[in-house]
Structure 1
Amino acid sequence: MKDVLRILISPVVWLASFSAVYALHGFVCELDPGNSEIGISWIRIVLVAAFLFAAALQIVLLTLMYSPRFGSAPGFARSVSRASGWVGLVATVWTLFPTLAISTCAG
Protein backbone atom coordinates (compact mmCIF):
# COMPACT_ATOMS: atom_id res chain seq x y z
CA MET A 1 0.00 0.00 0.00
CA LYS A 2 2.85 2.38 0.74
CA ASP A 3 4.22 1.85 -2.76
CA VAL A 4 0.90 2.90 -4.27
CA LEU A 5 1.02 6.06 -2.15
CA ARG A 6 4.58 6.78 -3.28
CA ILE A 7 3.58 6.34 -6.91
CA LEU A 8 0.47 8.52 -6.72
CA ILE A 9 1.51 11.31 -4.34
CA SER A 10 3.17 13.62 -6.90
CA PRO A 11 0.36 13.54 -9.48
CA VAL A 12 -2.25 14.02 -6.75
CA VAL A 13 -0.33 16.98 -5.32
CA TRP A 14 -0.05 18.40 -8.85
CA LEU A 15 -3.82 18.06 -9.30
CA ALA A 16 -4.50 19.77 -5.98
CA SER A 17 -2.02 22.58 -6.59
CA PHE A 18 -3.30 23.16 -10.13
CA SER A 19 -6.86 23.44 -8.86
CA ALA A 20 -5.86 25.61 -5.90
CA VAL A 21 -3.71 28.06 -7.86
CA TYR A 22 -6.28 28.66 -10.59
CA ALA A 23 -9.09 28.91 -8.03
CA LEU A 24 -6.94 31.43 -6.17
CA HIS A 25 -6.41 33.27 -9.45
CA GLY A 26 -10.14 33.61 -10.01
CA PHE A 27 -10.79 34.62 -6.42
CA VAL A 28 -8.06 37.25 -6.31
CA CYS A 29 -9.08 38.67 -9.69
CA GLU A 30 -12.61 39.07 -8.40
CA LEU A 31 -11.34 41.02 -5.37
CA ASP A 32 -9.07 43.29 -7.48
CA PRO A 33 -6.93 44.64 -4.63
CA GLY A 34 -4.83 46.98 -6.84
CA ASN A 35 -1.09 47.65 -6.59
CA SER A 36 1.15 47.19 -3.57
CA GLU A 37 3.51 49.81 -2.17
CA ILE A 38 6.34 48.52 -4.39
CA GLY A 39 4.33 49.01 -7.60
CA ILE A 40 3.64 45.34 -8.32
CA SER A 41 0.12 44.01 -8.41
CA TRP A 42 -0.93 42.06 -5.31
CA ILE A 43 -2.41 39.50 -7.66
CA ARG A 44 1.01 38.92 -9.24
CA ILE A 45 2.68 38.59 -5.83
CA VAL A 46 0.10 36.06 -4.61
CA LEU A 47 0.28 33.99 -7.80
CA VAL A 48 4.08 33.94 -7.86
CA ALA A 49 4.10 32.83 -4.22
CA ALA A 50 1.57 30.08 -4.97
CA PHE A 51 3.61 28.92 -7.98
CA LEU A 52 6.82 28.82 -5.95
CA PHE A 53 5.12 26.95 -3.11
CA ALA A 54 3.67 24.33 -5.48
CA ALA A 55 7.02 23.83 -7.24
CA ALA A 56 8.88 23.63 -3.93
CA LEU A 57 6.42 21.05 -2.65
CA GLN A 58 7.01 18.91 -5.74
CA ILE A 59 10.78 19.23 -5.32
CA VAL A 60 10.48 18.08 -1.70
CA LEU A 61 8.38 15.08 -2.78
CA LEU A 62 10.90 14.20 -5.49
CA THR A 63 13.74 14.45 -2.99
CA LEU A 64 11.86 12.12 -0.65
CA MET A 65 11.47 9.57 -3.48
CA TYR A 66 15.26 9.46 -3.76
CA SER A 67 15.93 9.26 -0.01
CA PRO A 68 16.72 5.87 1.51
CA ARG A 69 14.30 6.43 4.39
CA PHE A 70 11.16 7.34 2.43
CA GLY A 71 11.88 5.84 -0.99
CA SER A 72 10.72 2.44 -2.15
CA ALA A 73 12.82 -0.69 -2.04
CA PRO A 74 14.84 -1.33 -5.21
CA GLY A 75 12.69 -2.58 -8.05
CA PHE A 76 9.67 -1.63 -10.09
CA ALA A 77 7.96 0.52 -7.44
CA ARG A 78 11.11 2.60 -6.93
CA SER A 79 11.47 3.33 -10.65
CA VAL A 80 7.81 4.17 -11.11
CA SER A 81 7.61 6.38 -7.99
CA ARG A 82 10.68 8.35 -9.08
CA ALA A 83 9.33 8.73 -12.62
CA SER A 84 5.99 9.81 -11.18
CA GLY A 85 7.80 12.38 -9.03
CA TRP A 86 9.46 13.86 -12.11
CA VAL A 87 6.14 13.89 -13.95
CA GLY A 88 4.53 15.74 -11.03
CA LEU A 89 7.30 18.35 -10.98
CA VAL A 90 7.26 18.93 -14.74
CA ALA A 91 3.45 19.05 -14.81
CA THR A 92 3.41 21.60 -12.00
CA VAL A 93 5.92 23.89 -13.66
CA TRP A 94 4.35 23.50 -17.12
CA THR A 95 0.72 24.06 -16.14
CA LEU A 96 1.30 26.81 -13.58
CA PHE A 97 3.83 28.78 -15.62
CA PRO A 98 1.07 30.85 -17.30
CA THR A 99 0.34 32.43 -13.92
CA LEU A 100 3.82 33.98 -14.17
CA ALA A 101 3.99 34.68 -17.89
CA ILE A 102 0.68 36.27 -18.85
CA SER A 103 -1.38 39.16 -17.57
CA THR A 104 -3.19 38.33 -14.39
CA CYS A 105 -6.78 39.38 -14.96
CA ALA A 106 -8.71 40.11 -18.14
CA GLY A 107 -10.92 43.12 -18.33
Structure 2
Amino acid sequence: MKDLLRILVSPVVWLASFSAIYALHGLICQLDPGASEPFGVSLSRITLIAAFVLAVLVQAGLLALLYSLRFGAAPGFARSVSRMSGWVGLVATLWTLFPTLAVSSCGW
Protein backbone atom coordinates (compact mmCIF):
# COMPACT_ATOMS: atom_id res chain seq x y z
CA MET A 1 0.00 0.00 0.00
CA LYS A 2 2.85 2.39 0.72
CA ASP A 3 4.28 1.75 -2.73
CA LEU A 4 0.99 2.75 -4.32
CA LEU A 5 1.08 5.99 -2.31
CA ARG A 6 4.64 6.65 -3.46
CA ILE A 7 3.60 6.13 -7.07
CA LEU A 8 0.52 8.38 -6.90
CA VAL A 9 1.65 11.20 -4.62
CA SER A 10 3.28 13.40 -7.28
CA PRO A 11 0.42 13.29 -9.82
CA VAL A 12 -2.13 13.91 -7.05
CA VAL A 13 -0.13 16.88 -5.75
CA TRP A 14 0.12 18.19 -9.32
CA LEU A 15 -3.65 17.88 -9.70
CA ALA A 16 -4.25 19.72 -6.44
CA SER A 17 -1.77 22.49 -7.21
CA PHE A 18 -3.11 22.91 -10.76
CA SER A 19 -6.66 23.24 -9.46
CA ALA A 20 -5.67 25.56 -6.62
CA ILE A 21 -3.58 27.92 -8.75
CA TYR A 22 -6.16 28.27 -11.49
CA ALA A 23 -8.88 28.76 -8.87
CA LEU A 24 -6.67 31.45 -7.32
CA HIS A 25 -6.26 32.97 -10.77
CA GLY A 26 -10.02 33.12 -11.28
CA LEU A 27 -10.54 34.59 -7.83
CA ILE A 28 -7.88 37.24 -8.42
CA CYS A 29 -9.39 38.18 -11.77
CA GLN A 30 -12.83 38.46 -10.23
CA LEU A 31 -11.86 40.47 -7.15
CA ASP A 32 -8.75 42.52 -7.90
CA PRO A 33 -7.45 42.68 -11.47
CA GLY A 34 -4.15 44.37 -10.60
CA ALA A 35 -5.11 47.38 -8.50
CA SER A 36 -1.88 47.79 -6.53
CA GLU A 37 1.47 47.65 -8.29
CA PRO A 38 4.55 47.73 -6.07
CA PHE A 39 7.80 47.71 -8.08
CA GLY A 40 5.81 47.90 -11.33
CA VAL A 41 4.35 44.40 -10.86
CA SER A 42 0.77 43.86 -9.73
CA LEU A 43 0.10 42.16 -6.44
CA SER A 44 -2.00 39.65 -8.36
CA ARG A 45 1.00 38.67 -10.49
CA ILE A 46 3.22 38.37 -7.41
CA THR A 47 0.67 36.09 -5.75
CA LEU A 48 0.46 33.81 -8.79
CA ILE A 49 4.24 33.68 -9.11
CA ALA A 50 4.55 32.76 -5.43
CA ALA A 51 1.95 30.01 -5.84
CA PHE A 52 3.81 28.67 -8.91
CA VAL A 53 7.15 28.66 -7.08
CA LEU A 54 5.57 26.94 -4.06
CA ALA A 55 4.04 24.23 -6.28
CA VAL A 56 7.39 23.60 -8.00
CA LEU A 57 9.21 23.45 -4.66
CA VAL A 58 6.70 20.96 -3.26
CA GLN A 59 7.12 18.75 -6.34
CA ALA A 60 10.91 18.99 -6.13
CA GLY A 61 10.74 18.09 -2.44
CA LEU A 62 8.57 15.07 -3.20
CA LEU A 63 11.02 13.97 -5.87
CA ALA A 64 13.89 14.29 -3.41
CA LEU A 65 11.96 12.18 -0.89
CA LEU A 66 11.34 9.51 -3.53
CA TYR A 67 15.09 9.33 -4.13
CA SER A 68 15.97 9.21 -0.43
CA LEU A 69 16.82 5.94 1.27
CA ARG A 70 14.48 6.57 4.18
CA PHE A 71 11.27 7.43 2.31
CA GLY A 72 11.90 5.87 -1.09
CA ALA A 73 10.58 2.49 -2.15
CA ALA A 74 12.64 -0.69 -1.90
CA PRO A 75 14.75 -1.49 -4.97
CA GLY A 76 12.73 -2.87 -7.82
CA PHE A 77 9.67 -2.02 -9.86
CA ALA A 78 7.98 0.25 -7.29
CA ARG A 79 11.12 2.37 -6.87
CA SER A 80 11.49 2.90 -10.61
CA VAL A 81 7.83 3.70 -11.19
CA SER A 82 7.58 6.03 -8.18
CA ARG A 83 10.64 7.98 -9.31
CA MET A 84 9.32 8.23 -12.87
CA SER A 85 5.98 9.36 -11.48
CA GLY A 86 7.80 11.98 -9.41
CA TRP A 87 9.49 13.33 -12.53
CA VAL A 88 6.16 13.34 -14.36
CA GLY A 89 4.62 15.36 -11.52
CA LEU A 90 7.45 17.90 -11.57
CA VAL A 91 7.42 18.31 -15.36
CA ALA A 92 3.60 18.51 -15.42
CA THR A 93 3.71 21.22 -12.77
CA LEU A 94 6.26 23.24 -14.71
CA TRP A 95 4.50 22.75 -18.05
CA THR A 96 0.90 23.37 -17.05
CA LEU A 97 1.47 26.16 -14.55
CA PHE A 98 4.05 28.12 -16.55
CA PRO A 99 1.31 30.19 -18.24
CA THR A 100 0.68 31.87 -14.89
CA LEU A 101 4.11 33.48 -15.38
CA ALA A 102 4.13 34.02 -19.12
CA VAL A 103 0.73 35.40 -20.11
CA SER A 104 -1.36 38.34 -19.05
CA SER A 105 -3.24 37.77 -15.86
CA CYS A 106 -6.90 38.38 -16.63
CA GLY A 107 -7.05 39.20 -20.33
CA TRP A 108 -7.92 42.84 -19.75
- TM-score band by shorter chain is over 0.9
Question: Is there any run of 5+ residues in structure 2 with no aligned partner, and where?
Answer: none
Kindly tell me the number of residue pairs found equivalent between the two proteins: 107
Deviation at 1:11?
0.1
Query: Which deviations, in whole Å up to 9, do the C-alpha atoms of 1:31-53 show, x marking residues without a partner?
Result: 12513332211111000000000
Query: Following the alignment from structure 1 to structure 2, what is the Cα–Cα distance between the partners of residues 103 and 77?
Result: 41
The worse-fitting range, judged by mean Cα deviation, of 91-100 and 29-38 is 29-38
Separation (CA, whole Å) in 2 of partners of 1:37 and 1:90: 31
After superposition, residues 1-107 of structure 1 pair within 5 angstroms as 1-32=1-32, 33-107=34-108
Instruction: Give, in whole Å, the separation in 2 of the partners of 1:106 and 1:48.
Output: 17
Give the TM-score of the pair, scaled to structure 1. 0.97
Amino acid at match of 2:28: V
Question: Which region of structure 1 is more displaced relative to structure 2, 30-39 or 91-100?
Answer: 30-39
TM, length-normalised to structure 2: 0.96
CA distance in structure 2 between the partners assigned to 1:75 and 1:37 by the alignment: 51
Using the aligned pairs only, state the percent identity: 68
State the alpha-carbon separation in 2 of the partners of residues 97 and 27 from structure 1: 18
For structure 1, which runs of at least 5 residues remain unmatched after alignment? none
Deviates more, 1:16-25 or 1:39-48: 39-48
Runs of 4+ in 1 over 4 A off after TM superposition: none
